[in-house]
Amino acid sequence: MSPAEEAAHLKRRKEIWAELQSGQVAPVESKRDDGRGHRQKEFAAETSTRTGVNKRTINRAISRAEALGDDITRIKGTSLDKGVELKSRFMCFQSRLKAFQSCLSAFLGLLQSCFGCHLWDMNNEGM
């Protein structure tokens, strides 16, 4: 299975796991004398136990799949379908998003100073 497929499948598995866990009260298992139980395992820890894959690797794959969204299916089978390339694409996306946000903030500030109002204020008579 390619890194993109693995990430997409782990993301879907986490969604299914979350649906199964919602609303369930897990029984408290304890061998302690004071009766305190152990917390239920989180998704990555449970998956790691079942698959033998490192918990950090699972979390990394899921974060890549969530960040790339639908693009992950387009990457499958291409030269970009490598863990390093997925990470690079994710980092590039994050840096471009930050640059876009700062440009948008500056643009909105400029418009506000020119027109004296907020663009999101629809009741403003100034525009």
> ∠ CA 69-73-79 to the nearest 5 degrees?
115
Higher pLDDT, 120 or 59: 59
Residue written as tokens 């690797």? 57
CA distances from 76 to 5, 21, 42, 89 (A): 7, 30, 28, 13
Predicted local distance difference test score (pLDDT) of residue 105: 86
Buried b (16+ CB within 10 A) or exposed e, 67-99: bbeeebeebeeeebbebeebeebbeeeeeeeee
Q: What is the pLDDT of residues 56-100, one digit of tens each?
A: 999 988 888 887 777 777 777 776 667 666 666 666 666 777 888
**CB distance 2 to 65 below 8 Å:** no
3-state SS, one letter per residue, for 3-43: HHHHHHHHHHHHHHHHHHHCCCCCCCCCCCCCCCCCCCCCH
Residue 38 has pLDDT above 90, yes or no: no
Predicted local distance difference test score (pLDDT) of residue 21: 82
